[in-house]
Amino acid sequence: MPSADNSDVAAESPAAVRVESRPLAYFYDAELPPVLEVDSGAVLVFETVDARDGSLAHHPTGSLFSLPRPDPGRGNPLTGPVAVTGTEPGDALVVDILAVECGPAAWAGGHAHANPLIPGRIPESLGRSCQVTSEFVDYGAGIKLPASPMVGCIGTAPKDSKPSAGQPGRHGGNIDQPIVRAGTRVFLPVEVPGGLLFLGDVHAAQGDGELSGTAFEVPADVTVRVSVTKGLSLVWPWILTDDRLAVMTSGVDFVEARYEAVEAMLSLIERCLGLDPADGLALISVAGDLRVGQAYGGMDMTLRLEMPLLPGLELVPGMAHSK
């Protein structure tokens, strides 16, 4: 598969196990049988399809086309689930994203039925097919944007619900955070034995907010290493980069998602650094960055609160030196 890749790690290796996209999953469902069970430390290549399962791939790159609504319950198809041996409720499933290789064509679009504008402002839904290379995505009209592949959907199966592939939540899900890319480590809450990891909805690039409800939607191969941190008992997903630690939350509106993000980060600061609540909040205010994942209005808003890797601020002891 021709690639748009932001990692020096090859997407395929002799040790990697391929996870085929079929059968596709459309819910983070604990009752689905695992397509694969692996040991902690396994390297996997998830084969993913685009957000419409290739149904728009016949449009030639560079063309503008009428964008149909997604079929109800069939958006953002997922690959998986994969079970990790020995993973139990209360653990954290740790996913190191090693590489993201995109296909040669993506599509973007603007929906008339779901967007942040007043009704009727977008009179017709339109999509655009775009060429993807390792360096750029050709939007057309003389516009070339840097390729920055990221994973839109990554999550585990909740115990007592079956959220759709298009929903974000405490399990992760459709978080649409551009920071979820090659070179990062994702910590996911575990509620069922095996964790049951799902992955999909890759974007060749996306802006913070994903304000049309779509990004550069593209099929891809995503290489990951999966492992387990015992007893971490996360409430929300977290992510670790070379210089940042972030919690990723969601809510029906900005206020709810913001509360969850600030509360999670403040609790970590109190525990790790021993600061009083007001002092910890002041530290968040001067050093933290609150960023939007998706906010187009068609589903819950997702936020992430990022902090620099301050001395002692660790989700797991030794975490800052473990990547």
Nearest 5°: the CA angle 12, 155, 41 is 45
The two tokens of residue 20 are 């085929």
CA 188/CA 94 separation, integer angstroms: 6
Read off the pLDDT of each residue in 77-98 and give the average, rounded to a whole number: 98
pLDDT at 213: 94
Mean confidence (pLDDT) of the chain: 94
Of residues 185 and 72, more confidently modeled: 185
Q: Does domain 238-321 have CATH number 3.10.28.20?
A: yes
Q: How confident is the model at residue 321 (pLDDT cuts 50, 70, 90)?
A: very low
Ramachandran angles phi, psi of 31, nearest 5°: -85, -10
pLDDT digits (tens, 9 = 90+) for 295-304: 999 899 999 9
Other beta carbons within 10 angstroms of residue 57's beta carbon come to: 16
Confidence of residue 11 (pLDDT cuts 50, 70, 90): very low
Q: Cα(first)–Cα(last) distance of the chain, in Å?
A: 28
pLDDT at 312 over 80: yes
- Tell whether the model's pLDDT for residue 9 goes beyond 50: no
Q: What percent of the chain has pLDDT over 90?
A: 90
- Kindly indicate the confidence band of residue 12, based on its pLDDT and cuts at 50, 70 and 90: very low
Every domain of the chain and the residues it spans? 238-321
Do residues 157 and 191 lie in contact, with contact meaning Cβ atoms separated by under 8 Å? Answer: yes
pTM over 0.85: yes
The predicted structure's pLDDT at residue 298: 87
201-230 tens-digit pLDDT? 999 999 999 999 999 999 999 999 999 999
Average pLDDT over residues 38-60: 97
Report whether pLDDT(14) > 80.
no
The yes-or-no verdict on residue 5 having pLDDT over 80 is: no
Identify the pLDDT of residue 319: 65
Taking residues 125-131, report their average pLDDT: 98
- The 10s digit of each residue's pLDDT in 264-287 is 999 999 999 999 999 999 999 999
Backbone angles phi, psi at 321, to 5 degrees: -115, 10
Question: Can you list the positions of beta strands (E) in 121-231?
Answer: 126-132, 136-140, 143-146, 150-156, 168-169, 172-174, 185-189, 197-203, 220-229
pLDDT at 318: 75
Q: What is the mean pLDDT of residues 240-253?
A: 97
pLDDT class of 10 with cuts at 50, 70, 90: very low
Is residue 73 very low, low, confident or very high in pLDDT (cuts 50, 70, 90)? confident
- pLDDT at residue 1 in the model: 41
Give the pLDDT band (50/70/90) at residue 147: very high
270: left (phi over 0), alpha (psi -120 to 50) or beta: alpha
Least confident of 27-41, 113-127, 142-156, 307-321: 307-321
